[in-house]
Structure 1
Amino acid sequence: MLDRALTFKLYPNAREVERLTDWIRLHCELYNAALEERIDAYRKHGKSISYYDQQNVLPEIKAARHEFVELGSHALQQTLRKLDLSFQAFFRRVKAGQTLGFPRFKASKRFSGFCYPDPAGWKLMQHGGRGATLRVGSGKDAMSIRARGQHRFGDGAKPNDLTITRRNGEWFASVTLRVPEDACPRARTGAAYRGVDFGLNNWAMFDDGEAIANPRFMRNEMSRIADLQRQQARKKRGSIRYRRLGARVAKVHERIGNLRREFLHKETTRMVKACAVLATEELRIQNMSRSAKGTQQKPGRLVKQKAGLNREILSAGSSMAHNMLAYKAVEAGTRLHVANTRQLKPSQRYAACWEIVPKTLAQRTHVCAHAGTQRTATRTQRRSC
């Protein structure tokens, strides 16, 4: 069995929106109360409270606060587990000497949503096509919310967990499906052996010279975002107009993300369908997009230029493309080879003779004297080989 994620858009009516908002508020209240309990216990008594300590108190909370009963025990446990994961990440960063980021209290308006970690307490029913109904809760108080979405895995796919989120005033349900392996394969139409290099001038460059242009969704909307942000800066912070302009900026970013995701899905699907073997290099996007501002003692250089480059790197979505290729290649029966960049040094190595010549970023070509001949390759071709 394989795990596959699917997102449905929800269309709740006014009464259902009010109930979902109340549920998010209660989950946020539980999260903040559990965080406060951990902080107070350590400050006053030097004692650390574990997830299991807080989970065992849930029956007493539901007995005293009856509104928590309809949320479901497993969903409440998952909210406490979410806080526990935040503390685990905090202590891991402490040991690694990284930026700490202590868990913070959350406002209910910024609390993203809640999760059912197993099939209990909800049910997803598809009606053919893209129509669906999500039933949440139990008994006569259960809600049946209209949804839109579809998956390609047939009746053998079994829902495993559900996450309900609220983004920009809209509601979404992310469902993880447990899918049989025989329901996942993709039809592969080609048997090519190709190398591909992900970049910025061209989103992808293949070893035969074929290029896929970078759509630059973020750059195309920068002027619109800047105009909205200038308008927002002139409004009183916290006013209705300030919030409306903030929502419009968020809508533009959401649209950019949707366009990017659609583009990546189409191109990665085309790659794995056409190739029996697909080779690329490992990319460490987190390192590549690191800020150049430095420290107060050692300030960085060309900080604004590096910030613009980082924006373009993240907008290209190369890391997301690698993740998509990883699971789509398995489904299509395509062999995906990801070369170790640090070991292979593709920017310094010429594929024809395997010679390594150190270069600066300004050097875009490699001239190789091999067997008495001169060979020249562009930087992009070298990285693709």
Structure 2
Amino acid sequence: MKADIGRRYRAYPTPEQEEVLVRWGHHARALWNLALEHRMMVGRKHDGISWVWAAEQCLLLTEIRNDPDDSVDWIRDLPAKAGQQVLRRLDQAFKNWANPNHGATIPTFKRRGTRMSIPFPGQAARIRKLNRHWTEVHVPKLGWVRFRLSRTLGGELRSCTLVRDGLGWHVSFGVHTGSDSAAPNGKPGCGVDFGIKVSAWVSTESTPRHMPPSLTESELLRLKTLEHRKARQITYAKKHNGGKYSNRLRKTIAQIATLKARQARRRLDFTHKLTTDLAKNHGFVGIEDLRVLNMTKSARGTTTKPGTGVRRKAALNRGISDNIPGERRRQLAYKTVLYGSQLRPVPPHGTSQTCPQCGQRDTRSRVGCGREFACVHCGYTDHADKTASIEIEARARRMGDTVIKSTRSPRKWARGRATGTRLRAAPSPHAM
């Protein structure tokens, strides 16, 4: 039985447990990098015809753990089941890369600043409830770790992952509930236009929905100050310390991570409330079929190798990333299945240039970069984002029964995986 839903809770390990978890997190990252390098080396040796997978690397992992050499003590320190899960996740990363419908890129090496993640299979973890607010999970070689029970599990435990972000440690569970897709709810549909100035405009509503600022003015000022301090400290480390990070620099990086983690949580809070309301109260939800990566990949560059128009495009890229349209689509994809509605992505071309009254598309109806729409054919005027949402609903409605109803489980919707598509052979890692 596979997990079909996820649960995430705030964990509160003791100082001794946290020290062990930090060490394991670095070991798991090093094992990922070592296994990835091994696969790429085998791929180069065999010209991309074949390479190793998790089954072979798990056998090698067992041999390494039995080796008495002191140089591999860090592999023996990491629980064996956690190491095996890291290799299986690397397998899944390669399969996602090989799947043309997934959109994942080639697996890459993890840097030291990458979010710590220690995965375990569900069979390795046990849960016991202390009271209505607190529960403990038993982690191999670590013992019982307490976490806040903010909601019930609601199913059978299938996986357990300990994760650390800027706000602390969390425990994530993959849970099998056995729930099927809900029956059609029979409610009227809508079209939604996601934007930057206007976070979302629903075609059936007269007012837009604005996302509250993810950071206050004082927090933005503090983030800017910390970023400047980090840049100065990195420059000093490169000139006088051989590139080695000082404790002050690491403290600055941790403070930046805390602010950004808080910002991410506020964004997700608004996004979850928005997508749940749309999926629960509408029979179908029409959105633009956007390629978010293509929208933000232009004007890339660094301080040493700046690209073209980086400063001009930076504010727009930040606005797109702050509204996370890709995450909104991912959430709508699995929530519409849970609440008996449909997600209908429509072609995005010209939605804000098409008049909902006469149906004429004309670029002259949108003059400049303003948010007003004025049809040059029939004289219809309204807000451009509302006009776009009405056109999106019309296109989604025309799709009607031509939309292919998905047979994917809600968990697979959440992961964005495509079923019904034959997985092609994975390309060589060194070919990219």
Provide the TM-score with structure 2 as the length reference: 0.71
The answer to whether the 8 Å contact 2:42/2:52 transfers is no
Structure with the larger strand share:
1
Work out whether 1:362 is the aligned partner of 2:363: no
Alignment correspondent of 1:81: 88
**Cα offset, 1:302, TM superposition:** 4.1
Q: Distance in 2 between matches of 1:293 and 1:27?
A: 31
**Cα offset, 1:240, TM superposition:** 1.8
**Cα offset, 1:258, TM superposition:** 0.8
Work out whether 1:114 is the aligned partner of 2:118: yes
Alignment correspondent of 1:223: 221
Which of 61, 65, 70 does residue 64 from structure 2 map onto? Answer: 61
What are the within-5 Å matches in structure 2 for residues 320-359 of structure 1?
A: 320-342=327-349, 345-359=350-364
The answer to whether the 8 Å contact 2:123/2:158 transfers is no
How high is the sequence identity, in percent, across the aligned residues? Answer: 26
Q: Distance in 2 between matches of 1:160 and 1:254?
A: 27
Structure 2 residue runs of 5 or longer lacking an equivalent are 238-244, 391-432
**Cα offset, 1:78, TM superposition:** 2.2
Q: Distance in 2 between matches of 1:356 and 1:229?
A: 45
Amino acid at match of 2:134: G
Classify the secondary structure of the residue corresponding to 1:350: coil
**Cα offset, 1:253, TM superposition:** 0.5
**Cα offset, 1:313, TM superposition:** 0.9
**Cα offset, 1:22, TM superposition:** 3.4
What are the within-5 Å matches in structure 2 for residues 229-244 of structure 1?
A: 229-235=227-233, 236-237=236-237, 238-244=245-251
Alignment correspondent of 2:178: 180
Deviations 1:238-266 (A, max 9, x none): 22222211111111101100111111122
Q: Which moved more, 1:220-229 or 1:63-72?
A: 63-72
Q: Which moved more, 1:47-56 or 1:255-264?
A: 47-56
Deviations 1:200-256 (A, max 9, x none): 121111224221123232584432211112233344432222221111111110110
The answer to whether the 8 Å contact 1:278/1:335 transfers is yes
**Cα offset, 1:368, TM superposition:** 4.6
The answer to whether the 8 Å contact 1:275/1:334 transfers is yes
The answer to whether the 8 Å contact 1:62/1:68 transfers is yes
Classify the secondary structure of the residue corresponding to 2:375: strand
The answer to whether the 8 Å contact 1:131/1:147 transfers is yes
The answer to whether the 8 Å contact 1:218/1:256 transfers is yes
Alignment correspondent of 2:380: 375
Amino acid at match of 2:222: R
Counterparts in 2 of 1:86 and 1:361: CA distance versus 1, 3 Å: farther
Counterparts in 2 of 1:203 and 1:169: CA distance versus 1, 3 Å: closer
Q: How many residues align?
A: 362
Counterparts in 2 of 1:197 and 1:37: CA distance versus 1, 3 Å: closer
Deviations 1:312-351 (A, max 9, x none): 1110122222222232232222344332324xx3123222
Counterparts in 2 of 1:2 and 1:357: CA distance versus 1, 3 Å: farther
Alignment correspondent of 1:143: 143
Alignment correspondent of 2:164: 166
Alignment correspondent of 2:406: none
Counterparts in 2 of 1:84 and 1:26: CA distance versus 1, 3 Å: same
Deviations 1:25-82 (A, max 9, x none): 4434433443454466567787964023322223322222587567554432222234
Alignment correspondent of 2:196: 200
The answer to whether the 8 Å contact 1:31/1:83 transfers is yes
Kindly indicate whether structure 1 or structure 2 has the higher relative contact order, using CA contacts under 8 Å at least 6 residues apart: 2
Work out whether 1:308 is the aligned partner of 2:308: no
Classify the secondary structure of the residue corresponding to 2:377: strand
**Cα offset, 1:311, TM superposition:** 0.2
Amino acid at match of 1:264: T
**Cα offset, 1:102, TM superposition:** 7.4
The answer to whether the 8 Å contact 1:291/1:307 transfers is no
Alignment correspondent of 1:16: 17
Work out whether 1:248 is the aligned partner of 2:255: yes
The answer to whether the 8 Å contact 2:3/2:158 transfers is no
Q: Distance in 2 between matches of 1:99 and 1:193?
A: 31
Which of 207, 211, 227 does residue 210 from structure 1 map onto? Answer: 207
Q: Distance in 2 between matches of 1:309 and 1:349?
A: 24
Alignment RMSD (CA, Å):
3.7
The answer to whether the 8 Å contact 1:122/1:136 transfers is yes
Q: Distance in 1 between matches of 2:328 and 2:43?
A: 43
Classify the secondary structure of the residue corresponding to 1:305: helix
Classify the secondary structure of the residue corresponding to 1:7: strand
Deviations 1:173-211 (A, max 9, x none): 1111111327x979x9x9454332111121111224221
